[in-house]
Amino acid sequence: MAKDMMKAVIEVDGARVSFGAVKALDGVTLSVMPGECIGLVGHNGAGKSTIVNVINGGLTPQEGTVASDGERLDRYNITIARGRGVRCVFQELSLCPNLSIVENTRIMHHELGGFGWRAKAAKVIEKSLDAVFPGHGIDSGQPVGDLSIAERQMVEIAMAFSDAGIAPRLVILDEPTSSLDASLARQMLDHVRRFVASGGSVIFISHILHEILETSDRIVVMKDGRVVAERPAGEFDHHRLVEAMGSVANDDAFQRSARELAAAPVVLKHQAAGLPFTARQGEIIGLAGLAGHGQTELLLALHAAQSNSWWPRRDPLVTFVAGDRRLNGVFELWSILRNFSIASLGDLSRGGVVRTADEAERGADWKGRIEIRTQDMDNGILSLSGGNQQKVLFARALATRAPVILMDDPMRGVDVGTKQEVYEIIRQEAAKGRSFIWYSTEMDEVRLCDRVYVFRERVITAELVGDDVNETNIIAASFEGVAA
Amino acid sequence: MKLRLTSDAMRLLIPALSMTVLLAAVFWLQPRAMSYFGLNLLLNLAVPIALATIAQMLVMAVNDLDLSIGAFVSFVACVTATFLRDAPLIGTLILAGAVGVYALIGVVIYLRNLPSIVVTLGMSFVWAGLAVLMLPAPGGQAPDWVRWLMTVKPPLMPMAIVASIVIAIVAHLIVMRSSLGVLIRGVGGNQRSVERAGWSIIAARAAAYGLAGLFAVAAGIALVGLTTSADANIALRYTLLSIAGVILGGGEFTGGRVSPIGAVIGALTLTLAGSFLSFLRISPDWQIGAQGAILIIVLALRLVFNRVEKRGARP
């Protein structure tokens, strides 16, 4: 084929990246040819976002090289990447919400300087919006903060495909369709095919497998920071793709003990949109579905409904384990012990004064129970690895008297060993009669649950009990209405 | 469809409204203020405050806060009343150097990841010390051209109003219309995305702080033009006045949401609030408290407005 003669737009060879003890990329080799769409799939945390960051110049691999057009680039960075036409649509919002669409276009395109840049920028972005999403109805003078989430995503996609002097050659789309409805997603995928047909390259990341299968020429499957499969899209189908991602192989790794809980008393009820939500004593309830489809909102609503915003309850019904440790989990400047005891200070104090002896005793007790790996609980929380920090947050929640524990995808970025230990603690505590409401983006964790609510578009669309809790059913429910 | 105002236009509504109300109240209490001379007297002290407010706004646009602005304006006033009059070249060099220091502070704050409040609070003592070294006792004299500039009587409108309009237009052009302004506000809105687009955050922050220094220098010069002499403590209250002015004018502490026109209106409103209270014959002991009360009322109004707006936005 002629493609063999062509030089790769970007070629990453043997990239290794590690963040502390976590190996995010373990020797990844990937080359992107002109005129092809590469589908990149893998579970949460497989290293997709890391390789994307290496390709767009935001991250320099500790080992390995980046080459472009057959030329090895030793000092590769964002500016060089952009100069070579590498564009990226990120998972999270990467526009400035306080600026208008036109002004954001100015930020994205350095070339757009000089007098009258507003008119030029407006032309550039409107042309691209019209090409990708005909009939979009978005006014380019509006501030991005005033747009709906879908509109923001449309603008971001159009921004990546827009041309203000340096034509886009490689566009990386990281979960671009997550907040688009079916017809908008269709428009975008059609545009990807047109772009590829005209000689451009696309790296397409999505959890919606049929989109990957029908849009890509070649599919790269990643797992644990490595490329585990790389074949033309025609050789994959839905089942084989899931198999290659490696989630079927370890089916027996986590066995859920069947428990009969239908008779247990109900501890929590909530009428959200869709099916009603109930939690029984001693139950582990999973909140599943695609990330960002309303699971966290339900947890927050449950917490808000059970707590008073003026004065803390004496005996709180619920407690919360945060998912984003850095953002709303740990107190970075505090010791491990203080981080642990903050939620149960009410129990540990008399007359408004904390009894430090009791605090230390309880800390030592929990340190042993969940094996926090530290010599001294008075060390700073940041001296612990991420997994151990998460254990401290678990201990914080478990040490309270609250019978219901809300968990907001707390295992993000935690190593496998720690996960197993925490799963065991959860099982033990559930056996003692505590209820867990657990939002997780990982299938393995959802399958540990006694009952699972599946979310779709901020609504509970399905409830799975007992043996129905399996990957096939969850995926089927998560994609309900989209696959059709 | 066309009736729907953008959020930026809504932002200007409250400051404009509160200024109009205060102005009307002042005119009602003291009809003689409704003249060329009266308006000038009422508003001329707002000119340096407006300039300082714009300077503060530039720093707030990159999500920082400048607590040294009052001391810095005092320092500039002292330089203006001494060096700039007696040795214009040295004076100009000192002021240019001070602007450079401002830009440098912006870079240091970013590179070392320091809280801007702490660094600028520290710098405020440096500026105050330098000012005292120059003018241990109140004194000095305004250069003639500065004095002329601040007391000139243009036809139709008094200087205070002309200057405010000019300041608003210039700041609007720089902050809202130019590429540099977009970049500065972009840093405040989403620094990561600006960085990913390949811009130098250091340069953007240095520019924001440097421009802030420039406007603060203008504030100091304008102040001496009005007072004719300087004092090391002449503008200490500008720090809080400028922050209040930005917020009153629809700006926010974070997120790069600022409005230069609003900031000038905010500065005028604060000045008017002072005169209004004097006309009410409220004793100076209570004035600061009463000024605070006015501020709280206006900000509360804005919160209510935001809430209404949000409710309207969600279908």
Four-CA torsion A306, A310, A312, A313, nearest 10 degrees: -50
Contact A181, A21 (CB under 8 A): no
How many structural domains compose chain A? 2
Per-residue pLDDT of chain B (315 residues; tens, 9 = 90+): 344 556 677 778 888 998 999 999 999 998 988 899 889 988 989 999 999 999 999 999 999 999 999 999 999 999 999 999 999 999 999 999 999 999 999 999 999 989 999 999 999 999 999 999 999 999 999 999 999 999 999 988 999 999 999 999 999 999 999 999 999 999 999 998 898 888 999 999 999 999 999 999 999 999 999 999 999 999 999 999 999 999 989 888 888 999 999 999 999 999 998 888 888 888 888 888 888 888 888 888 888 877 877 765 543
My answer on whether A122 and A218 are in the same domain is yes
Percentage of the residues of chain A whose pLDDT score is greater than 70: 90
Q: For chain B, percent helix, then strand, then coil, each to nearest 5?
A: 75, 0, 20
Which chain A residues touch B7 with a CB distance below 8 Å? 143, 145-146
d(Cα A55, Cα A11) in Å, to the nearest integer?
8
Domain holding B92, by residue range, is: 42-305
Q: Do B198 and A110 touch (CB under 8 A)?
A: yes
Contacts 24+ apart (CB under 8 A), B31-39: B33/B275, B36/B157, B36/B158, B37/B158, B39/B158, B39/B160, B39/B161
Q: Residue A393 maps to which CATH number?
A: 3.40.50.300
Chain A and chain B share a number of CB contacts under 8 A equal to 69
Confirm whether B267 is domain-assigned: yes
Which chain B residues touch A93 with a CB distance below 8 Å? 190
Minimum distance, in Å, between the CA of residue A148 and any CA atom of chain B? 10
Q: Dump pLDDT digits (tens) for A338-388.
A: 999 988 888 888 888 888 898 999 999 888 887 787 888 888 888 887 778
Q: Do B185 and A99 touch (CB under 8 A)?
A: yes
Q: Do B196 and A93 touch (CB under 8 A)?
A: no
Domain holding A308, by residue range, is: 266-478
Number of neighbours of residue B305 by Cβ within 10 angstroms: 15
Per-residue pLDDT at A483 exceeds 80: no
Q: What is the pLDDT of residue A413?
A: 62
* CA distance to A18, A60, A96, B36, B129, per residue, from A77 (Å): 18, 8, 22, 60, 44
Percentage of the residues of chain A whose pLDDT score is greater than 90: 23
Q: Do A96 and B313 touch (CB under 8 A)?
A: no
Confirm whether B207 is domain-assigned: yes
Interface ipTM: 0.89
User: Which of the residues A55, A79, A98 would you substitute to probe the B interface, choosing the one with the greatest number of B C-beta atoms within 10 Å?
Assistant: A98
Confirm whether B90 is domain-assigned: yes
Check if A443 contacts B (Cβ < 8 Å): no
Confirm whether A483 is domain-assigned: no
Confirm whether A253 is domain-assigned: no
My answer on whether A45 and A155 are in the same domain is yes
My answer on whether A126 and A192 are in the same domain is yes
According to DSSP, the β-strands at A266-270 and A226-232 are unpaired
Polymer length in residues for chain A: 484
My answer on whether A224 and A317 are in the same domain is no
Confirm whether B1 is domain-assigned: no
d(Cα B70, Cα A455) in Å, to the nearest integer?
54
Which chain B residues touch A97 with a CB distance below 8 Å? 189-190, 255
Confirm whether B15 is domain-assigned: no
Q: Which of A82, A99, A106 sits opposite B189 (nearest CB)?
A: A99
Q: Can you spell out the DSSP letters for B297-312?
A: HHHHHHHHHHHHHHHH
Q: Do A99 and B186 touch (CB under 8 A)?
A: yes
My answer on whether A106 and A32 are in the same domain is yes
My answer on whether A225 and A278 are in the same domain is no
Check if B178 contacts A (Cβ < 8 Å): no
Confirm whether A364 is domain-assigned: yes
My answer on whether A125 and A51 are in the same domain is yes
My answer on whether A296 and A155 are in the same domain is no
Cα A437 → chain centroid: 19
Contact A299, A287 (CB under 8 A): yes
Which chain B residues touch A121 with a CB distance below 8 Å? none
Check if B20 contacts A (Cβ < 8 Å): no
My answer on whether A233 and A279 are in the same domain is no
Question: A190, A210, A245: which is the final residue of a domain?
Answer: A245
Q: Do B6 and A79 touch (CB under 8 A)?
A: no
Backbone angles phi, psi at A31, to 5 degrees: -125, 140
3-state secondary structure A104-124: HHHHHCCCCCCCCHHHHHHHH
My answer on whether A236 and A284 are in the same domain is no
Q: What is the pLDDT of residue A484?
A: 34
Specify the 3-state DSSP secondary structure of B139. Answer: strand
Which chain A residues touch B313 with a CB distance below 8 Å? 146
Q: Nearest residue on chain A to B252, judged by CA atoms?
A: A98
Contact A130, A110 (CB under 8 A): no
Confirm whether B191 is domain-assigned: yes
3-state secondary structure B83-115: HHHHCHHHHHHHHHHHHHHHHHHHHHHHHCCCC
Question: A216, A245, A274: which is the final residue of a domain?
Answer: A245
Check if A328 contacts B (Cβ < 8 Å): no
Which chain A residues touch B188 with a CB distance below 8 Å? 98
My answer on whether A464 and A374 are in the same domain is yes
Confirm whether A250 is domain-assigned: no
How many structural domains compose chain B? 1
My answer on whether A237 and A280 are in the same domain is no
Predicted TM-score (pTM) of this structure: 0.79
Confirm whether B2 is domain-assigned: no
Q: DSSP character for B178?
A: S
Confirm whether A232 is domain-assigned: yes
Token digits of residue A333: 């400047």
* CA distance to A29, A168, B288, per residue, from A56 (Å): 15, 12, 54
Q: Which of B179, B186, B313 sits opposite A96 (nearest CB)?
A: B186
Confirm whether A169 is domain-assigned: yes
Check if B193 contacts A (Cβ < 8 Å): yes
Q: Dump pLDDT digits (tens) for A43-90.
A: 656 788 889 989 988 888 888 899 988 888 888 888 889 889 999 988
Confirm whether B23 is domain-assigned: no
